[in-house]
């Protein structure tokens, strides 16, 4: 009997197997579904980026500590949202709190960049509702609030989980743009006032023709052969095939501050394993590096090849063409090659279109001579170049030590940077509250006294040659400080009498307008991203008219120069 059952089972399995083979042979759709697609030459031919869009987050909150320049929160949907939030936090007497004149209801907005991690910061935009009793947010503090992403689905507003939390001192637009327009007094920002609450994932979505579990695994393996890091003592690649049509990516530490560059390089990686064809590909890419219209993409592919591409890039960085030198040096910088430093510093000095991406490439390079090169930029006539170099230095750990800077009672940092160029005062409106004094900045030219913002008065003391700073505010004790007659000492004395970052900006703007600040004053003169590079005519005999200009790519726009 057992023999009979065994034979029956065996014949049954055999018949099922034959039936599957017959089904595949007789069903072209099934055969097509099971067939592994031919691998593409490059990842980008098979996959498109996922998670590269910025996410807008919003919230409704209260600004308090206003000197009677706030006002009751008028009935509106914003007030209802805020009351609901206050009830969740179990705040007692919320309606009474919203009726005070030292508070104001505001909208809070922020943007979370691609690849952001939990704990990253973001700048916040502060707006008052169209109908408001508040007249000025200067000196206010945003109370803790939660920010969510909102979408309209099925004619209803849907909110995500909490993506960021926000708090901090408000910097009004009137502080740096002028007080002529009263609307600017109830609009503002908080530098780095938001904190991201969860990591943002990146990935690749495979195109329909390449959606197969083996293809997903092959592309992930190709990426991991190039990009990996050590998680503790374990080597781990950045790519993980999650589905047959999706590969999740971690941000490689070298590209932490330029996620767009990482994605561009990942998509320029070849899928086929390294072989004798690699040398052929290097030769072809080396020839493309000689053509301005093709060099930018060739540099990305060489960067995607990693170490084997270094000799080709080193040859290209010796080109007489400044555009070709830049593309090669940029790729070498992300491969942490010291030979990239001098060409990138030269590009920053000579060509505005290359400044932002070149500075970004230098930011995380692990070579001590990067600091030396960036320090040389402090003597450049271009204020954009100087502050761009300073910004990159400040973002580096070894650069922070060199710049030092003075923490003014936790309100902002003051830097005094030696420079042989024309003296200038630079104020930050993004990310870091800071004031930078380049060169031998002159003191304020005060003959008798100067009336600043928020009850601040600065008087010249002829007997001692010093400045006496006073501040008078209703409901508070008068505050006084006597300091040396230098701009740095004056700013330090301003914080001694309770002045904040907004007070410092407003005072500098007023002093410049009235002609008592002799040196240049600039707000965020950082290099712009995505500038166009115009090639010289005849730079490449194969170029068409459409190719007579190039584009220096960069992941994010740092700021608008002023």
Domain end among 181, 196, 211: 196
Residue 400: CB atoms within 10 Å? 12
Number of domains in the chain: 5
Q: Can you tell me which residue has the tokens 């206010």?
A: 140
Q: Is residue 382 a part of any domain in this protein?
A: yes
More confident residue, 403 or 31: 403
The model's confidence at residue 560, banded by pLDDT at 50, 70 and 90, is very low
pLDDT the model gives residue 513: 93
Residues 345 and 397 in one domain: yes
Residues 278 and 361 in one domain: no
Q: Is residue 351 a part of any domain in this protein?
A: yes
The CA-based dihedral angle spanning residues 514, 517, 523, 525, taken in that order and rounded to the nearest 10 degrees:
130
pLDDT the model gives residue 390: 97
Residues 372 and 487 in one domain: no
Burial-class residue 404 by CB neighbours within 10 Å (0-12, 13-18, 19+): exposed
> Using one digit for the tens of pLDDT, what is the confidence trace for 94-150?
888 888 999 999 999 999 999 999 999 999 999 999 888 999 999 999 999 999 998
- From the list 235, 297, 197, 243, the residue with the least C-alpha distance to 50 is 243
Q: CA 89 to CA 51: how far, in whole Å?
A: 32
> Using one digit for the tens of pLDDT, what is the confidence trace for 463-475?
888 999 999 988 7
HSE, CB side, 13 Å, CA atoms: give it for residue 124: 34
pLDDT the model gives residue 34: 64
Count of residues making up the chain: 562
Q: In the predicted model, is pLDDT for residue 484 greater than 90? A: yes
Residues 71 and 189 in one domain: yes
pLDDT the model gives residue 33: 59
Average per-residue pLDDT for the chain: 88
Q: Is residue 534 a part of any domain in this protein?
A: no
Percent of the chain's residues with pLDDT above 70 = 88
pLDDT the model gives residue 381: 96
Domain end among 167, 196, 225: 196
> Using one digit for the tens of pLDDT, what is the confidence trace for 353-385?
999 999 999 999 988 899 999 999 999 999 999
Q: CA 162 to CA 145: how far, in whole Å?
A: 10
pLDDT the model gives residue 155: 63
Residues 60 and 190 in one domain: yes
pTM, whole model, 2 decimals? 0.86
Residues 355 and 372 in one domain: yes
Percent of the chain's residues with pLDDT above 90 = 70
pLDDT the model gives residue 7: 40
Residues 110 and 132 in one domain: yes
Q: In the predicted model, is pLDDT for residue 15 greater than 70? A: no
Domain end among 196, 214, 243: 196
Residue 414: CB atoms within 10 Å? 19
Residues 159 and 68 in one domain: yes
pLDDT the model gives residue 406: 94
Q: Can you tell me which residue has the tokens 């609450």?
A: 197
Query: What average pLDDT does this structure show over 62-69?
Result: 92
Q: Is residue 24 a part of any domain in this protein?
A: no
Residues 147 and 207 in one domain: no
Q: Is residue 257 a part of any domain in this protein?
A: yes
Nearest 5°: the CA angle 305, 308, 312 is 95
pLDDT the model gives residue 205: 97
Report the CATH number at residue 347: 1.25.10
User: Tokens in use for 346?
Assistant: 């030269």
pLDDT the model gives residue 36: 79
Residues 170 and 61 in one domain: yes
Q: Can you tell me which residue has the tokens 């930018």?
A: 296
Contact criterion met (CB below 8 Å) for 434 and 413: yes
Domain extent for 232: 202-268
Q: Is residue 32 a part of any domain in this protein?
A: no
Q: Is residue 15 a part of any domain in this protein?
A: no
Contact criterion met (CB below 8 Å) for 552 and 354: yes
Q: CA 450 to CA 507: how far, in whole Å?
A: 10
Residues 86 and 157 in one domain: yes
- From the list 398, 394, 397, the residue with the least C-alpha distance to 414 is 394
Residues 329 and 341 in one domain: no
Q: Is residue 227 a part of any domain in this protein?
A: yes
């Amino acid at each position: 009997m057992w023999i009979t059952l065994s034979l029956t089972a065996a014949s049954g399995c055999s018949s099922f197997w034959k039936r599957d083979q017959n089904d595949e042979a007789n069903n072209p759709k099934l055969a097509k579904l099971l067939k592994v697609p031919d691998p593409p030459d490059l990842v980008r031919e098979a996959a498109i980026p996922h998670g590269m869009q910025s996410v807008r987050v919003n919230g409704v909150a209260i600004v308090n500590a206003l000197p009677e320049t706030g006002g009751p929160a008028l009935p509106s949907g914003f007030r209802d949202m805020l009351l609901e939030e206050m009830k969740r936090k179990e705040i007692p007497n919320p309606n009474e709190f919203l009726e005070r004149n030292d508070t104001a209801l505001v909208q809070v907005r922020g943007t979370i960049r691609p690849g952001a991690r939990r704990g990253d910061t973001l700048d916040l935009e502060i707006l008052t509702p169209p109908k408001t009793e508040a007249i000025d947010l200067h000196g206010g503090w945003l109370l803790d609030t939660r920010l969510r992403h909102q979408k309209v689905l099925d004619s209803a507003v849907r909110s995500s989980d909490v993506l960021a939390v926000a708090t901090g001192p408000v910097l009004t637009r009137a502080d740096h743009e002028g007080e002529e327009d009263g609307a600017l007094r109830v609009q503002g920002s908080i530098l780095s006032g938001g904190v991201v609450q969860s990591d943002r994932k990146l990935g690749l979505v495979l195109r329909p023709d390449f959606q197969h579990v083996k293809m997903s695994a092959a592309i992930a393996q190709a990426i991991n052969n190039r990009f990996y890091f050590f998680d503790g003592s374990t080597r781990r690649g950045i790519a993980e095939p999650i589905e047959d049509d999706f590969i999740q990516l971690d941000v490689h530490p070298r590209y932490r501050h330029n996620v767009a560059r990482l994605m561009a390089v990942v998509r320029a990686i070849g899928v086929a394993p390294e072989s004798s064809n690699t040398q052929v590909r290097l030769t072809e890419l080396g020839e493309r590096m000689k053509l301005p219209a093709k060099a930018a993409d060739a540099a990305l592919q060489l960067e995607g090849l990693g170490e084997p591409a270094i000799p080709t890039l080193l040859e290209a960085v010796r080109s007489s063409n400044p555009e070709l030198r830049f593309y090669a040096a940029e790729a070498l910088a992300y491969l942490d090659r010291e030979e990239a430093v001098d060409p990138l510093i030269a590009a920053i000095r000579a060509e505005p279109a290359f400044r932002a991406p070149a500075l970004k490439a230098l930011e995380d390079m692990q070579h001590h001579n990067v600091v030396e090169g960036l320090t040389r930029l402090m003597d450049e006539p271009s204020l954009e170049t100087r502050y761009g170099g300073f910004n990159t230095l400040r973002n580096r750990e070894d650069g922070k030590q060199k710049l030092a800077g003075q923490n003014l009672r936790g309100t902002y940092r003051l830097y005094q940077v030696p420079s042989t160029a024309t003296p200038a005062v630079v104020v930050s409106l993004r990310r870091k509250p800071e004031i930078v004094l380049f060169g031998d900045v002159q003191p304020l030219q005060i003959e008798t006294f100067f009336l600043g913002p928020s009850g601040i008065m600065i008087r010249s003391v002829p007997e001692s040659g010093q400045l006496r700073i006073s501040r008078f505010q209703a409901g508070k004790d008068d505050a006084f400080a006597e300091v040396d007659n230098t701009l740095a000492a004056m700013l330090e004395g301003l914080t001694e009498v309770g002045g904040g970052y907004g007070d410092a900006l407003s005072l500098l703007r007023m002093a410049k307008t009235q002609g008592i600040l002799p040196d240049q004053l600039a707000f965020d003169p950082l290099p712009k991203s995505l500038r166009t590079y115009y090639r010289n005519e005849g730079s490449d005999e194969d170029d068409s008219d459409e190719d007579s200009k190039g584009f220096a790519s960069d992941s994010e726009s740092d700021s608008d120069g002023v």
